[in-house]
Amino acid sequence: MGTFFLVLAIVVLLVAGMSVGVIFGGKPISGTCGGIGALGISSSCDICGGNTQKCDEENQRVASATVTSEELAYDATTSGRKR
């Protein structure tokens, strides 16, 4: 049982150390260098159709849009009933 607690303490310390490193590193978490770019594929994603400006425009549009609670959900207890 003592071995279990020792290993648990080591794992917790490692995770805490990595978390502190990420928090104080000042650099955002990013992908690895072995992603799609490493495959030699120079085309962009199918969503933007080769125009990467569309992705930036869509991200800006989504960030600026305000969403109300009525747009996120509906009241299922009243659906289908006439009042």
Q: Do the beta carbons of residue 47 and residue 55 sit within 8 Å?
A: yes
Instruction: Look at residue 31 and give its three-state secondary structure.
Output: coil
Q: Per residue in 2-25, pLDDT tens?
A: 999 999 999 999 999 988 887 887
* pLDDT tens-digit readout, 28-64: 666 666 555 555 555 556 656 666 677 777 777 777 7
- pTM (global) more than 0.85: no
Structure tokens at 14: 């490692």
DSSP calls for 41-54: --S--TTTTT-HHH
